[in-house]
Homo-oligomer: A and B are copies of this chain.
Amino acid sequence: MSTGVEASRRATAPTSPGRVGDVRRRNLSLILHQLGLSGQTTRARLAADTGLTKASVSSLVADLVSAGLVMEVGLNRAAERGRPGLGVALNTAAAALGLEINVDYMAAGVLNLAGDLQFHQVVEQHNAGKDPEEVLGRLTELAGQALQQAEAAGLTVHAGGLAVPGLVDTASGRVLNAPNIGWRNVDIAEWAASLVPEGILGTAVFNEANSAALAELWYGHGRGMGNYLFISGEVGIGGGIIIDSGLFAGPGGNAGEIGHIVVDPEGPECSCGGSGCLERYAGQDAVFVRAGIEGGNDAERMAALLEALEDGDEQALAAVRRAGHYLGVAASSTFRLLDIDAAVLGGNFATLERWITPAFHASVEEHAPAVLAADDVVVSGLGRQAALMGAAGSRIRTVIEHPHLLLKQH
């Protein structure tokens, strides 16, 4: 840890009022990172693990405690010999708000600094074609309830993250194009700025599938898998590319659109304006139609599909197999193009796991043989929590990377 040792020389140097020096910023973040890795520990162990001096660690921890990001956790007798040290841990009262707008539901939840989802509420609701202002109004209510619950539980919400099913510009707070809900170039920056009153970091907007891909990496079955394609089935099909344990967002920030890989050049038109896209073959509407399932809302239709599959209904089985086949076609192209060889299936693909994964595996074996082993495909266990956990988790990451933003200026 020579960097840490070198950095520690300046860690306790005085900083000008109202401004935290670069090295101290870095060391504040280093302490939070280490606490995320080690869990509850002592200042002495933090010093040993980071290469910082004990005096530096004490000073940094004091700042982080006063910012509400680290908490004292009582005597830690087990960890040290001699005089027991006062334990420290990430403050689980520090949290971020996670929100999701999807085609047929919206959801809110609060994720704390340790990555635990504290509240989670899903509201079934058709958002396609609705006025964005109306949808955001309802989401504000749902977010308000989550913030109230958080406050009642003693949590401090520092930031928010919103996941939407479309292309976004996170920097400017705009939804560029979300065809499945009919949004085009919707500026939500003003709405986002006022959402979390005490959250000085504001609310950022993310692509839903990219957020879900990161949630798998940080909190789900993607932990320990450094490189994979995340594919999520909803009304649309979202994708996220994880490379070297990080999101590959592409130069424009919107990579991973596997739903619009062309799986049949002569195929039907897609909501994106293109044609032959995977979404038209493996999106849930395409599967419902093929399976002959009509009527009811999406949740009811999914329940009917599952029942038909359980009953061995040939039409339903063929429809899901066909979706798995085309999913395998798009995944094969992606594996070859990006040189990755693992996948995490989420959303409805997780719900349909038993029936869809055999067809998926067979298709990949046909189109890109020897790329996938059986255990290279895992299924999400996060369900409808994934996208909002990823969006909130990205904001938790911001807090951990830039804790100085939350320090009391004096």
Report A336 CB to chain B, min CB distance, Å. 4
Task: Name the segment of A272-280, A380-388, A400-408 touching the other chain.
Answer: A272-280
Chain A residues packing against B (C-beta within 8 Å): 226-227, 239, 241, 243-244, 249-258, 260-265, 272-276, 325-326, 329-330, 332-334, 336-341, 363, 366-370
Identical chains in the assembly: 2
In angstroms, Cα B268 to Cα A367, docked, is: 10
**Which residues does chain B contribute within 8 Å of A325, judged by CB atoms?**
265
A326 touching B251, Cβ below 8 Å: no
Nearest 6 A/B pairs, CB to CB: A250-B339, A261-B333, A227-B251, A255-B339, A252-B339, A260-B336
Report A229 CB to chain B, min CB distance, Å. 9
**Which residues does chain B contribute within 8 Å of A226, judged by CB atoms?**
251
**Which residues does chain B contribute within 8 Å of A337, judged by CB atoms?**
239, 241, 255-258, 261, 334, 337-338
**Which residues does chain B contribute within 8 Å of A329, judged by CB atoms?**
262, 265, 276
**Which residues does chain B contribute within 8 Å of A260, judged by CB atoms?**
333, 336, 368
In angstroms, Cα B241 to Cα A263, docked, is: 21
**Which residues does chain B contribute within 8 Å of A255, judged by CB atoms?**
337-339
Q: List 16 A-B contacts (CB under 8 A).
A: A243-B250, A244-B251, A251-B339, A252-B340, A255-B337, A257-B337, A257-B339, A258-B337, A260-B333, A261-B333, A262-B329, A262-B332, A265-B329, A273-B369, A274-B367, A276-B367
B333 touching A367, Cβ below 8 Å: no
* Given A255-B338, A257-B339, A262-B332, 5 more pairs with CB closer than 8 A: A227-B250, A244-B251, A265-B329, A274-B336, A274-B368
- From A333, which residue of chain B is reached at the shortest CB distance? B261
In angstroms, Cα B226 to Cα A256, docked, is: 19
* Given known A-B contacts A262-B332, A265-B329, A338 and B368 have beta carbons under 8 A apart: no
Report A244 CB to chain B, min CB distance, Å. 6
In angstroms, Cα B63 to Cα A281, docked, is: 63
* Given known A-B contacts A251-B339, A332-B262, A273 and B370 have beta carbons under 8 A apart: yes
Which one of B265, B366, B367 lies within 8 Å of A367 (CB-CB)? B265
Report A252 CB to chain B, min CB distance, Å. 4
In angstroms, Cα B384 to Cα A92, docked, is: 61
**Which residues does chain B contribute within 8 Å of A244, judged by CB atoms?**
251
